[in-house]
Structures are given as structure tokens and as C-alpha cells.
Amino acid sequence: MVYRTFNLKKMKKIIAFFAIVVFLTNCKKSELQLDDPNSPTPTGSLASVKGVEQFALGIWSKLYVGNNLLVHAMNMHSFMGDEQWCSAGNWGWRYVNQVDKITLPAPYNKVIPGVLVIDQPTQLKALNNLSATNGSQTNALIYEWNLAYFVNGQANFLLQAIENPAITIPATEKATLQAWAYWWKGFAYSRIGSMYVAGVINDKTDGSTDSQYKTRQQMITEANANFDKAIALLTPIAAADAVYNSTMNAIIPAFNKPTPNVAITPQMWIRGCNTYKARNILVNKKVGELTAGDLTTIKTLATAGLIQGDITFLLGISAVAAEGISPNNQQHILLWNSHANNPGWMYPSERWAQDFKPGDQRFVKGVSTLPLAEVNRQARGYQFGGRYFFTAIQNGGYWSTNARTGFANFAGSWEENALMLAEVEIRNNNIDAGLLFVDRVRTANGAGLAATVGTGLNQAQALEELRRERRIALTLRGLAFYDARRWGVTTKASAGGGRANANVVVPNAEIGATPAGSWTLLPCFIDYNYWDYWDVPVHEYSYNSPGAGSPAIAN
């Protein structure tokens, strides 16, 4: 039989061969320890000073999560403050820019309701749902919130990392890094307290949060407390401290510094904190609500605030798209509005343009005229029309860039500080003392305007000079909406708000003028009717229900 004739030797060989193959392909449990070779681990990376520094630098990376969140926040403020307009619905831009009614002047006296009929608060509330948040990305409310809390989360982690007993950080560097974390927390809470009806204070690093929401006033108090911690840490550090300087160079990327290797000194930084604290008071009260005490506090803070020549934290553009937080031709407030590169996205507002005084060189240099005016762009409302675009920095302008150069001021400036001092003085009826600051800013900007000091302006006229100057000197610095809110411009007309004599490009078809298809610039009344403070976004309260005792989290 076949079985018997089988060669046993051969069989052994074959079995041996199979055994070897099986052995060779055999795996041991230890081989399963395959850890992610690409990404640093918390324990591994934060066990060195360099790692902690890179983590501190990483706060900037948190500004960009899917989009540049800081730029998104600044753009929204710009639209709502009517510096720029944007008819695109992306990220909810057209909806924050959705004015309620435009009333044409006599003889027309026509009321033009918003295209979407409902007002901005109703619209924003409607879009504050998970579907618009995750899918269509039209929930405008999420970006500033995300910005603040992503930054805050990283700052919390940084504070923990600095205390890691496994590493020894030189005392000055430790103080600098801690101040850095507290500054960003102060910044984050300032953004929340200045924009949302309520917020959350969270210092934890374990992925949990706090269901006890805080009022916006409590958020500002917390923001200022964090700025104070930063000031306390920075106060003992000398201006030329080498450790401080090297730390600052490690945590501020080159593309965010106008001059290489020139650092913000501890004193400049402290002054910047004071300016921000002053802003937090000023922009969170309606002008009529400012008390004498407020004015005194603002003056005290601003007097210790930024001075001409101070450097502040800036948002620049990395020359290489992949190296930074502006990875494409948008994602920066000055890049996005480039008429050459992104035509059709956003334009300077007629209402902003009309706030220039005649002869202002900043208008001459900073603004160009479109070959053909934009009229009721995308048929989304007459606020979406205008004659201008921003002249690029490359062509002598200020507020737009066609290339990857330029800086956005998001954390206060000496001009803002000076104009806060001006406001305090004017409100305290020290007219010329206040106008001096206005003139100083205009001179420094090369506006070429005649001095206002000594021209005998009354308080109202002086405040108008100040209002205009804040509009122009602080363009695209994230302050336009705060100002529109506190001056009552965005308040609904029935409550005394709105803007009269607001220039609007009105289609001739609306007023029966000729030629058809063309337009007429008319001084209209705009009833913006915007929310003062936003509801807490849906993705926060859906996964963090307000605990008992929380304040209202929605309008």
C-alpha cells in the first residue's frame, strides 16, 4: 500500500520544513508594543525644558483648528462693526452681517427689510444647532468660543507641565512661561466675557469641564485676574534679561514678529496687560453706563498701558504656507480681503469709508476704487455693496496683503490705549487733553489731518472725532463691533439704536432711477439690530449642561 512505501525520511524533512516556516512567522507578545512613532507623548515630550518651550509655542497652533479661529473671530467683529462686509454664508459670515432694515431717505422713504426677513439674533439662534455646527459650518457662534477654550486648555496643560518635578526650569524662564499661560488665559476669558452672555472657567487638564457657568462679568473678572497673575510674574524681570529674551524667542514664532529677535520686554508686556484690562472695562459697557469710577479705573490702567514704540503680540503670516497657522491664501485677516487673490469675498464698508475725514491720507493710501461697484452682491441685501477695495500693503496700503506679509494686531496697541485715554479725558470734559491723544495717533499714522486741539470743539464734537478715529486707526483690530455695540449703533432702532446717514449703494431698480442696473449712493438709516452678546454655542451646552445656579446661557 501507498502508506507503507512512503519515505519516512522525506516526511521528516517536510515536517521539519513546515516547523521552521511556522517558527519564522511566529510573533511574540512583546512585538505588539508598537507605539505611535510620529507623535510625541505627554510624558516623553514634557520631560525636557525644550519640550515645555515647544508646548508653550504650541499655544499658537491652537489658534488654528480646521480654520484660523482667531481670524474668524476678528472677521466677524469686522463685519458686525461694519468695517467690512461679506455676503458669503461660509462660517455664518453673511448672517452676522444681516442687518434688519435699511430705510431709504426722502423722497423714497422706502423700508427695505433684510433678504432673510428675520433679524440677526433670530437667525443666529436658529443656526445655533448641531447640524449647522458640524456639517454646514454656518453656526457663527462657535469660532470665538472654540478659540478661547482651545487656547485655555493648552494654557492649563502648560501650567501643569511647568510644575513637572522631573525637570528644572530656570526661575526666570519658569516665571515667563507661567506669565505666558496666564496671559493667554486672560485673553481667552476676555474674549468670552466680551462676546458671550455666559462662559465657563476651567483650569483642569483631565478633559473634564465645569458645569457651573459664569456670567460675562464674572468672566471678565477672571480674565483680569489672570492678567494680574501675569503682571506679578513679569514685574521682577529686568528688561534685558537674557533668559527672558531667549524664552520669548522660543515661544513667539518669527512670523509673528515684525523685527527679528526683538522681543517684547517684560515692561511692554505688562503695559499690554493693562491696556487689555482697560479695554475689558470700556468695551463691556454701553457708553451711557460708564460711571466716573469706570473712567477712573480705565484711566489708571491706560496710564500704565501701552506707549508709542511698544511691541505687542501680533498675528503674522508665515512665508511658507505649511509653516504656521495660515496654510492657504486665506486664514489671515489681511490675506482674506486681498482683492487680487480672493475677489468677491469681502470689501471695505461704505459706512467705514464715510468715517474718514476729508483729506485723510490713510484713505488715499489704504483704499482703492473698484472698476465696477458691487451692488447687492449675491442679492443678499443692500449692505452688501460698495465702491471700494483695500489697497494691498505691497501697493502702499495698510489693511490688506496680496502676498504673505503683514501683521494683525489682536491684543491691544498703543493707539488703542491712547484713544482710551482720549475718551476718558473727553468724557471727563477735558476736551483738549483728550484731543491731544487723537491728534497724536493721527500724526503717528501720517493722516495729514489738521490738529483738533485748540479748535474749540465741544464734548459731542470731540467724541465724534474720537469715534471716527477709533474707526480708522483701529481698523481690523477686532474692536469695531465692541464700539458699535457700546455706541448703540447695533442696538435695534426701536430701542434708540441704528445709524443715520449711513451710505448705502442702492440699486436703481429699487428707486426707479436710471440707468437700469446701475446704482445710487444714498444716505440711509440702517437698523442693524444685532445681538449685544451671543448665546453660548450649542456644542458647549449639549455636552456640558448648565448646573444648578448657572446664569442664563442664552439671550
Partner 1 sequence: MKKLLQSLFILLFIASSAIAQNRTITGTVTAREDGLPLPGVSVKIKGSNGGGITGADGRYSIRVTSEATSLEFSFIGFLPQTKTIGSGNVINIVLVDDSKTLSDVVVTGVGVATQKKLVPIDVATLDAKDFPKSATTNVTQALQGQIAGAQIIQRSGQPGANAQIILRGFTNLSSASPLILIDGVQASSDLLTSIDPNTVDRVEVVKGSAGGMLYGAQGGNGVIQIFTKKGAKNSKLIIDVASRYSNDRIVRLNDLIATNHHWVTDAAGNIVASNGAILAPSAIGVWPNPTALPFGTDKTVQNNKPILLPVYDHIDQGNKVANTFTNSLTIRGGSEKTDYSFGASNLSQQDVYSNKYSRTNLNLNFGFNPVKGLNFRSATQLIYTKEDLLSSNRFNLVNSLQWIDFTFQNPTNGQYVVKPSTLTDGNNPLAEREARSRYSKTPRLVQNFNLNYKFPKFLEFDVKYALDTRRWEQGDFYFNQVGRAQTVFYGSVIEGSILKEYENSAVNYGNASAYFRTDFQNDFKLKVPIKTTTQVTYDARRFKSNYFYAQGVTLPAYPPFTLSSATTRTGGESFEESLIYGFLVNQTVEYGNLFGISAGFRSDYSSAFGGQGTAATFPRGTVFFNPSEFFTNKSFVSNWKLRAAYGEAGVQPGIYDRQVTFSRGNFGESGSTLYTRATANNPNLLIQKTTELEIGTDLNLTPLKGNWLSSVVLNGTYWSRKSNDVIQEAPAAPSSGATGVRDNLVSLKSSGFDISMDISAYKSKNLDWNFGFRLGKSKTEVTAVSNNVPITNGVFYLAPGGNLGDLYMQRPLTSIDQLRPNGTRYIPEASAAGYAVASNGYVVNLANYNVVLTGADDLAVAGNVNPDFTSSFINNFTLFKKLSIGVQFDWVQGGDVYNQTRQWMYRDRLHKDFDEPVTIAGQEGSFVAFYNSLYNTNTPLSHFIEDGSYLRLRDLSVTYDLTNVLKQKWLRTISVTATGRNLATWTKYKGLDPEATSALTNQGGTISGMGSFTGVDYYGAPNLKSFQFSLNIGF
Find the part of the chain contacting partner 1 (CB under 8 A) among 201-209, 268-276, 418-426, 452-460. Answer: 201-209
Output the smallest distance, CB 457 to partner 1, in A: 39
> Which three cell numbers mark 90?
461660509
Would you say 117 or 460 has its CB closer to partner 1?
Answer: 117
Find the part of the chain contacting partner 1 (CB under 8 A) among 173-181, 221-229, 378-386, 481-489. Answer: 378-386
Would you say 168 or 261 has its CB closer to partner 1?
Answer: 261
Q: Which of residues 88-107 bind partner 1 (CB under 8 A)?
A: 89-90, 95
Would you say 305 or 324 has its CB closer to partner 1?
Answer: 324
Helix and strand numbers (H, E) in the chain are 23, 14
Q: Which of residues 211-270 bind partner 1 (CB under 8 A)?
A: 250, 252-255
In 331-487 the beta strands, taken as DSSP E runs, fall at 347-348, 367-374, 386-390, 408-409
Distance between CA atoms of 375 and 368, rounded to whole angstroms?
Answer: 17
Rg (CA), the chain: 28
Among 149, 189, 388, 390, binds partner 1 (CB under 8 A): 149
Would you say 274 or 376 has its CB closer to partner 1?
Answer: 376
Output the smallest distance, CB 37 to partner 1, in A: 5
Among 109, 496, 514, 549, binds partner 1 (CB under 8 A): 514
Contact between 94 and 501 under an 8 Å Cβ cutoff? The reply is no
Distance between CA atoms of 223 and 230, rounded to whole angstroms?
Answer: 11
Output the smallest distance, CB 70 to partner 1, in A: 15
Would you say 63 or 426 has its CB closer to partner 1?
Answer: 63
Find the part of the chain contacting partner 1 (CB under 8 A) among 285-293, 355-363, 487-495, 516-524. Answer: 516-524
In 244-358 the beta strands, taken as DSSP E runs, fall at 314-315, 347-348
Which x/- pattern over 533-552 shows residues binding partner 1 (rule: CB under 8 A)? ----x-xxxxxx--------
Contact between 147 and 32 under an 8 Å Cβ cutoff? The reply is no
65 belongs to the binding site for partner 1 (CB under 8 A): yes
What Cα–Cα distance (Å) separates residue 205 from each residue in 46, 155, 188, 208, 209?
A: 14, 9, 16, 7, 9
Distance between CA atoms of 5 and 3, rounded to whole angstroms?
Answer: 6
CB atoms within 10 A of CB 129: 15
In 269-375 the beta strands, taken as DSSP E runs, fall at 314-315, 347-348, 367-374
In 209-310 the beta strands, taken as DSSP E runs, fall at 214-215
Residue written as cell 503717528?
444
Angle at 9 between CA 6 and CA 14, to 5 degrees: 90
Which x/- pattern over 1-40 shows residues binding partner 1 (rule: CB under 8 A)? -xx--x---xx--xx-xx--xx-xxxx-x-xxxxxxxxxx
Q: Per-residue DSSP letters for 63-74?
A: TEESEEHHHHHH
Q: Which of residues 287-346 bind partner 1 (CB under 8 A)?
A: 318-324, 327-329, 340-341, 343-344
DSSP state of 263: P
Which x/- pattern over 38-57 shows residues binding partner 1 (rule: CB under 8 A)? xxxxx--xx----x--xx-x
Would you say 253 or 448 has its CB closer to partner 1?
Answer: 253
59 belongs to the binding site for partner 1 (CB under 8 A): yes
Find the part of the chain contacting partner 1 (CB under 8 A) among 114-122, 289-297, 429-437, 461-469. Answer: 114-122
482 belongs to the binding site for partner 1 (CB under 8 A): no
Would you say 105 or 488 has its CB closer to partner 1?
Answer: 105
What Cα–Cα distance (Å) separates residue 130 from each residue in 63, 79, 208, 297, 509?
A: 22, 24, 21, 41, 39
Would you say 81 or 385 has its CB closer to partner 1?
Answer: 385
Output the smallest distance, CB 110 to partner 1, in A: 8
Query: What letter represents residue 265's amino acid?
Result: T
Distance between CA atoms of 215 and 162, rounded to whole angstroms?
Answer: 30
277 belongs to the binding site for partner 1 (CB under 8 A): no
Output the smallest distance, CB 200 to partner 1, in A: 4
- Mark 326-336 as b/e (b = at least 16 C-beta within 10 Å): beeebbbbbbb
Reduced to 3 states (helix: H, G, I; strand: E, B; else coil), residue 542 is coil
Output the smallest distance, CB 137 to partner 1, in A: 6
Would you say 141 or 421 has its CB closer to partner 1?
Answer: 141
Distance between CA atoms of 303 and 309, rounded to whole angstroms?
Answer: 15
207 belongs to the binding site for partner 1 (CB under 8 A): yes
Would you say 416 or 510 has its CB closer to partner 1?
Answer: 510
Among 152, 194, 247, 349, binds partner 1 (CB under 8 A): 152
